[in-house]
Amino acid sequence: MSGLRQMVPGSARADNPLAGSVLADNPPVADALGLYIHVPFCARRCHYCSFNTAPLDDGALTRYLAALRRELDLLAALPWAGRVRLATVFLGGGTPSLLTADDLTAALERLHSRFDVVADAEITVECNPESVTRAKLEGYRAAGVNRLSLGVQSLDDAVLERLGRLHDARGARAAFAAAREAGFANLSVDVMYGLPGLDVPGWTRAIETVLDWRPEHLSAYGLTLEAGSLWGAAGVDGLPPEQTQIDQYWQLARAAAARGFEHYEISNYARPGFRSRHNQIYWRASEYLAAGPGACGFIGRLRYANAKATPRYCEALEDGVLPVDSFEALTPRQRLAERLMLGLRLADGVPAAWLEERLAGDLPLARRVADWRDGRLLLEAGGRVRLTEAGFLLSDALFVDLL
């Protein structure tokens, strides 16, 4: 996985190991849901990565795939599952493209046999360039996958090596071409800025090159060093100054706009009609199921997470129980804060009434929001409030206040 992680705010964890039954008692409100499937395996761990990954040991993938099938069966057996449809499916990781076409076909067949997947469901697979071929991608397409998210990250071979990635710039270009040749008409490319050794001219060249490929969607995340990553623990030399990161952000915003992309979410750009339907479920605080180790879902008022360690996830399913090991029922106040924080990531913003409700009785926050309006970081029009491009850049500070 390279860019978007599942949006899981909140800190409270109900200590209720493998409490899958809570899902049975918390039916969803919506009749159409998303489904996130986490594929944890990576051939090697990138130096900046803090995602939930697992080594590809002998037998681990086979065991995981059996557990995943069992999990889909158990989710489909929930008392309310028969009345919901799946509108989006997203296989993230990890490196889902380590799955063979046959493995992926079997998993999706199981899904279709157990759930009502809508006819035009968006089905996305995250791919790393070194793990795909045209033949494999043709197999993915035949299995029903209709969108790929390609983890390119950089087109500078020295930077890629430093990140610990397994592909080079040529391999990234070849993977994109293979995806087109395999017939994919909806391709997203992930890139990263704020990388050590990446200056503004290098970044500009990379994004112009990627835009020349004519993807339908682009995700761009600034490097963050989090606990759990090698660099987060050991540090890394050569990080660019903050102003370079800001310049890189603006460079991308301008270049993408010049090519007709909508900057529809803080870190995401799309040609008209190609916004990620699955990721919008997260940003709109809508409901989605989760499968796979460490995957997080949101159903009814319940935010929940699966057992993170892949062996423990597999053991639960081998014992015939859902591998849910933490959950949190959101209070109305938490739900409102979350809707605001997620919704303000979108260029469409949120209803102004939501913000007014949050500000009621909180004078310090109301003053800060007034400053944001005065500084034209936050705009209100047509009954909605939204962040401007400049507001996007500074949004973390506001989101902390809103929680």
Interface residue list for ligand SF4 (CB under 6 A): 1-2, 42, 45-46, 49, 51, 53, 93-95, 128
- Smallest separation, CB 51 to ligand SF4 (Å): 4
Our CB check for ligand SF4 shows the closer of 95 and 280 to be: 95
- Smallest separation, CB 338 to ligand SF4 (Å): 25
Residue owning tokens 């990553």? 229
| CA–CA–CA angle 78, 122, 142 (5° rounding) | 100
Our CB check for ligand SF4 shows the closer of 53 and 219 to be: 53
- Do residues 309 and 293 lie in contact, with contact meaning Cβ atoms separated by under 8 Å? yes
Count of beta carbons in the 10 Å neighbourhood of residue 243: 9
H or E element at residue 122: strand 116-127
CA dist 401 and 403 (Å) reads 6
Which residues partner with 151 through β-bridges? 190
Q: Which two tokens stand for residue 220?
A: 């761009």
- Smallest separation, CB 1 to ligand SF4 (Å): 4
Residues listed for the chain:
403
Our CB check for ligand SF4 shows the closer of 34 and 94 to be: 94
CA dist 16 and 14 (Å) reads 6
Phi, psi of 350 (to 5 degrees): -135, 160
Return the sign of the alpha-carbon dihedral for residues 31, 8, 36, 257: positive
Our CB check for ligand SF4 shows the closer of 197 and 300 to be: 197
- Smallest separation, CB 169 to ligand SF4 (Å): 16
- Smallest separation, CB 48 to ligand SF4 (Å): 7
Our CB check for ligand SF4 shows the closer of 119 and 234 to be: 234
- Smallest separation, CB 196 to ligand SF4 (Å): 15
Query: Under DSSP, is residue 185 helix (H, G, I), strand (E, B) or coil?
Result: coil
CA dist 209 and 372 (Å) reads 35
Our CB check for ligand SF4 shows the closer of 164 and 311 to be: 164
Residue type at position 212 = D
CA dist 276 and 186 (Å) reads 10
Our CB check for ligand SF4 shows the closer of 51 and 354 to be: 51
- Smallest separation, CB 225 to ligand SF4 (Å): 13
CA dist 186 and 120 (Å) reads 13
Burial 206-220 (b: 16+ CB within 10 A, else e): bbeebbebebbbbbb
Our CB check for ligand SF4 shows the closer of 223 and 344 to be: 223
CA dist 27 and 299 (Å) reads 7
- Do residues 395 and 345 lie in contact, with contact meaning Cβ atoms separated by under 8 Å? yes
- Smallest separation, CB 167 to ligand SF4 (Å): 10
- 309, exposed or middle or buried, with CB in 10 Å at 0-12, 13-18, 19+? middle
Our CB check for ligand SF4 shows the closer of 222 and 300 to be: 222
Our CB check for ligand SF4 shows the closer of 128 and 310 to be: 128
- Smallest separation, CB 232 to ligand SF4 (Å): 12
Query: Under DSSP, is residue 32 helix (H, G, I), strand (E, B) or coil?
Result: strand
- Smallest separation, CB 377 to ligand SF4 (Å): 31
Our CB check for ligand SF4 shows the closer of 42 and 225 to be: 42
CA dist 295 and 358 (Å) reads 29
- Do residues 40 and 20 lie in contact, with contact meaning Cβ atoms separated by under 8 Å? no
- Smallest separation, CB 6 to ligand SF4 (Å): 13
